[in-house]
Structure 1
Amino acid sequence: MSADVAVSLAVLVGVVALSDVIRRPLCGLLAGTSMRAYAAELVSTFQLCCCTHELQLLSEVGVVPAGVSLTLTYLAAVTHGLTFRGATGNPIGTLAHAYRARISGVSALLRIACQFAAARAARAAVQVIWGRGLSGLHARHALSGFRCASAIRAPLHAAACVELACAFAVQTAVTHARGLRDRYRVHATAAVITSVVCAGGSVTGAVFNPALAFSTLFGCTGSSTAEYCVVYWVGPLLARFCHSSCRNGVLCADLRQSVSSVTIGRHEEEVRHQQHVTGRAQTTRRRQLYVTFFPPVDCNLKKVMAISGHFIRYKSCQKAVQNYSAGVPKLCPLRATD
Structure 2
Amino acid sequence: MAGLNVSIAFFFLVVGVCQALRRLSKRLLPPGAYGCLARELAGSLQLCMSCLELRMLVEIGPWGGGFGPDVVLTLLFLLFVVHGASFDGASANPTVSLQEFLLLESNLPATAAALLAQGVGMGMGWAVTKLYWSWELTQFHLIQNLIASECSSSIRTSTHHATFVEGTCSFLFHLVHLKLRQSHQMYRVPALAMTVTFLSHTAGPFTGAFFNPALAIATTFHCSGSSFWDYMQVYWLGPLAGMLAALLLYQGNLPRLFQKNLLYSQKTKYKIPKARVAAHVEGDEPRGRRKGGKSNSEPRA
TM-score, structure 2 normalization: 0.86
SS in 1 for 2:267: helix
Letter in 2 for 1:44: G
8 Å CA contact 1:77–1:190 kept in 2: the answer is: yes
1:36-55 alignment, distance < 5 Å: 36-55=35-54
The structure with higher relative contact order (CA 8 Å, sep 6+) is 2
Other-structure match for 1:327? none
| Residue in structure 2 matching 1:184, options 187, 191, 196 | 187
Letter in 2 for 1:42: L
Alpha-carbon distance, 1:32 to partner: 2.8
Alpha-carbon distance, 1:256 to partner: 3.2
| Residue in structure 1 matching 2:272, options 262, 265, 275 | 265
Gaps of 5+ in 1: 286-338
* Cα pair distance change 1:237/1:253, threshold 3 Å: closer
Letter in 2 for 1:211: A
Distance 2:232 2:155 in 1: 12
Gaps of 5+ in 2: 254-259, 293-301
SS in 2 for 1:203: helix
Q: Give the aligned CA root-mean-square deviation in angstroms.
A: 2.5
Distance 1:75 1:257 in 2: 41
Letter in 1 for 2:125: A
Letter in 1 for 2:194: A
1:33-54 Cα shifts (integer Å, max 9, x gaps): 4344200111110000000000
Other-structure match for 1:207? 210
Please say which of residues 239-248 and 131-140 is displaced more in the overlay: 239-248
| Residue in structure 2 matching 1:225, options 225, 228, 243 | 228
Distance 1:207 1:124 in 2: 19
Distance 2:266 2:96 in 1: 29
1:58-77 alignment, distance < 5 Å: 58-61=57-60, 62=62, 63=65, 64-77=67-80
Q: Report % sequence identity.
A: 30
- Does residue 169 of structure 2 align to residue 166 of structure 1? yes
Alpha-carbon distance, 1:275 to partner: 5.5
SS in 2 for 1:154: coil
- Does residue 261 of structure 2 align to residue 252 of structure 1? yes
8 Å CA contact 2:36–2:110 kept in 1: the answer is: no
Alpha-carbon distance, 1:266 to partner: 6.5
Other-structure match for 1:304? none
* Cα pair distance change 1:144/1:158, threshold 3 Å: closer
8 Å CA contact 2:44–2:122 kept in 1: the answer is: yes
Distance 2:278 2:119 in 1: 62
| Residue in structure 1 matching 2:158, options 150, 155, 158 | 155
Letter in 2 for 1:177: L
Larger-gyration structure (1/2): 1
Other-structure match for 2:299? none
Alpha-carbon distance, 1:31 to partner: 3.8
Paired positions, count? 282
Alpha-carbon distance, 1:267 to partner: 5.8
* Cα pair distance change 1:127/1:108, threshold 3 Å: same
8 Å CA contact 2:178–2:250 kept in 1: the answer is: no
Other-structure match for 1:104? 107
8 Å CA contact 1:91–1:112 kept in 2: the answer is: yes
Distance 1:53 1:146 in 2: 15
Distance 1:272 1:283 in 2: 13
Other-structure match for 1:134? 137
Distance 2:119 2:171 in 1: 21
